[in-house]
Structure 1
Amino acid sequence: MRHIRNTFGTVGAAAALALTGAVSTGTAHAQPAAGAAGLYAPSALVLTMGTGEEAATATVGRAVTLSCAPLPGGTHPSPGAACKELRAAHGEFSGLVDTSPQRSCTREWDPVVITAQGVWQGKPVSWSATFGNVCEMEGGLTESALFSF
């Protein structure tokens, strides 16, 4: 059983701006030329994986930051590939999750939650998906660089 929730606008503007600043200042990459920074809508996310039935009560096991504009960065192990994948999906996280994976898994109920919180191309993002167990999550994310951390 999977539960996918996509909610826009739940992250306050102040929190989104703070997240953008925190993520982009923590990365080590070249900055755009003076005045060019205004050409990029902020794209800064915190991605998590945890155990529990829903994002609000899950125990986070792993978390990374991902900044995609102006350059890929953050603590994500493959920020370039993750940003490319998210751009190709037009920021639709649900498009990166296979809801019918071709994988056999046990029916063990040990829920796993993945989340994305922050800002994507200037718009607040709050997204989560719950899988019945780790096997189902891995089957649903086999092609995802975004959640490979």
Structure 2
Amino acid sequence: MKQDPFGNLTDWGTVLDLFEELGDNGTLSECQPGLVRILRYKGNWRLREEALKRIGEIQNPSDELISQVMTILADDNIYYDVRILAGEALTRILRNIDNDYSDKISMDVRKITEKLRSTPQPPLFENALRHLYSEATHPEVM
């Protein structure tokens, strides 16, 4: 499989169908460079949101993918709904990766959430940050 099978992101209907197909086949993790490109693409909110919803399914996310999700969470110029989705994706990532790597990511997540929570945030985003921080500090045992 190509690492970026998503093609033209302006044709978002086709990309959404491909998300579903890749998720059903369990091959979404093979397309991480394409997911990073979608997360960086600011031209379609639906694609970005769908990518964030699906990223938690990936068992071995790349550093670049995790970094891009953290970038979205921390970006004050992005709308809160997608930042909340980024927090939820990071929560699922923390639950799915092995412990050695999880410690480094947890530390990075704690730093970002502490910085964001140092200034007043809207209640929904504050709740998402609190939940993410809690997960990064004391991950639930599955």
TM (norm. structure 1) is 0.24
Higher helix share: 2
TM (norm. structure 2) is 0.25
Higher strand share: 1
Q: State the structure with bigger RCO (CA 8 A, min sep 6), 1 or 2.
A: 1
